[in-house]
Amino acid sequence: MMEMPKDLTDRPATSDSAPDLLSHVLGQIRLTGDRVYSRVLAPRDRLDLPAEAAHLCVVTDGNLHIEDGEQGLIVVAAGDLVMLRGGLGQLQLTAGEGAASLVLCRFRFDTDSLRDMMSAIPRCIHIRQAEGAGWLDGIVHFLLLEANAAQPGAALMVSRLIDLVVIRTLRTWIHRGPISGWFGGLADPRIANVLKAIHERPMQRWSIEALASIAGMSRSSFCERFAALVGRPPLRYHNEHRLTLARDLLTKPNARVGEVGLSIGYESEAAFSRAYKSLFGHSPRAEYELRGAAERQP
């Protein structure tokens, strides 16, 4: 029978639980980057981007104006980065009064990976040059080198580099604080301790009482606080996290649906399949055949 790994992410040893949990959570974001390119906009020219994709945009010269009905006018100056989650809605992107030179990275989030977290990411995250000092210039230079290189493996390198920039952008945004929604759970020490326990021991049969005890709160106060920050009741979050781990296990060579279900705590393949389909919209067998087969190809 398959053994359930205690943790699917190798994390650095640290005495501070917050960064430890953050590394674990961010490590579960799945995305695919597929294009890096440069653009020069004439003064006041509009930048049109496909709404179905997410983008990183680094301004290398001039500035980019983003009109957002929620945040007002955002001026992205030279050396700044902005991450656009996709589904741009009413966002309007135009060059300022002078020309603007941009480096654009296109990618797509896998929305099934920690879906509550994905919905909590704002449409637009602006990282100023001072916040990205020491990492942004170097990695953008490397991205452009790989994008323009006709070398074997360049597409994979571009995707991995975009992955790194997205994770670093999210980490910078989270540390900026204060934030609300799912990520607010990481900023609340009591709820962060519970999330850490769930992620470190996903196969444990957690009860509300046990989780509330970790938080040092009453049962009712804990449930209310957890649901408000994370967007799910505690036990539902725990179950969805287990199913997300099962989704990874289904890509392993020789994975068996029934054994994967048993490894994450389901007593029958039928019960596992029902829960999996309820969350992801398709059966675990379909996951194995479609997504798993592609990932297992040499």
pLDDT, tens digit, 9 for 90 and up, residues 222-268: 999 999 888 889 999 999 888 988 888 887 878 889 899 998 888 89
pTM of the prediction? 0.68
Q: How far is CA 213 from CA 17, 29, 94, 223, 224, in A?
A: 17, 29, 51, 12, 14
Whole-angstrom Cα distance, residue 293 to residue 234?
33
The answer regarding whether domain 185-296 maps to CATH 1.10.10.60 reads yes
Domain-wise residue ranges, the chain: 31-176, 185-296
Low-confidence ranges of the chain (pLDDT < 70): 1-20, 28, 69-71, 87-90, 111-119, 150, 177-178, 180-182, 288, 290-298
Residue 128 structure tokens: 């100023």
**Which pLDDT score is estimated for 175?**
77
Q: Which amino acid is at 242?
A: R
Cα dihedral across residues 238, 239, 241, 245: positive or negative: positive
Distances (CA, A) of 136 to 3, 103, 142, 155, 271: 40, 12, 10, 20, 47
What local confidence, expressed as pLDDT, does residue 5 receive?
41
Domain 31-176 has CATH 2.60.120.280: yes
pLDDT score of 42: 96
Q: Tell me whether domains 31-176 and 185-296 share a fold.
A: no
